[in-house]
Amino acid sequence: MAIDTVFLDAGGVLVFPNWDLVAAALAPHGVTTSGAALAAVEWDAKHAVDTGAAGEPDLVRGWLVFGQVFTRAGVTDRAAIDAALTELQRYHAEHNLWERVPDGVIPALQRLRASGRKLVVVSNANGRIAAALGRTGIAPHVDVIIDSFDMGVEKPDPRLFELALTRAGARAATTLHVGDLFHTDVVGARAAGIRAVLLDMADLYGAFDCERVRSLGELADKLDRET
């Protein structure tokens, strides 16, 4: 059955951490690193947390990823890390630290929407995701934004997907969800009867039983071939 609605995770699919800001927060505490060095290990760090902390709430996993990134990037000063994270969490609470939009994201959203599909953001967030997507220029390219904080339930609980279906006026049978974490996005979407595709930019999930794409552009290509 043709897909007419695409659910999209926000963090790790549409927007990514501002690693330059993270590096800048570490610098006053004596840690020299770069945003590029931190970003280079992001996917390995997320994979480690996704496969090793499946029972943790998703927002907890998000900060656990930072710990894995620091370890892989050789940042080991615990006091410096704790001080920087305190500052970053304050920034995140006000603005949302996931604010970097890769170059290919908006063109892919435009392609998906031009094909007549409804685009729905389904995000485990802190009540600020709509404002964050507005600030980063994503909001005009999607139709509905669902924030788990506002719904009172988060992925992988299938109820969040079911609420999103109702809000969007969509059907599970003709909806696809794309996310970057297997245990949050794929497991949750499948539990709600929704087809799931994992965004696996670093090709780390080859052993997992799920559809995968390397970019949103590849997802658009995939759906175009199916029509």
Q: What is the pLDDT along the chain (227 residues), one digit of tens a residue?
A: 799 999 999 999 999 999 999 999 999 999 999 999 999 999 999 999 898 854 455 555 667 889 899 999 999 999 999 999 999 999 988 888 999 999 999 999 999 999 999 999 999 998 989 999 999 999 999 999 999 999 999 999 999 999 999 999 999 999 999 999 999 999 999 999 999 999 999 999 999 999 999 999 999 999 999 97
What distances in angstroms separate CA 114 from CA 2, 108, 111, one per listed residue?
15, 10, 5
> Does the structural domain 17-99 have CATH classification 1.10.150?
yes
Q: Residue ranges of the domains in the chain?
A: 5-14+101-226, 17-99
CATH says 5-14+101-226 is which class?
alpha beta
Query: Comparing 5-14+101-226 with 17-99, is the CATH topology the same?
Result: no
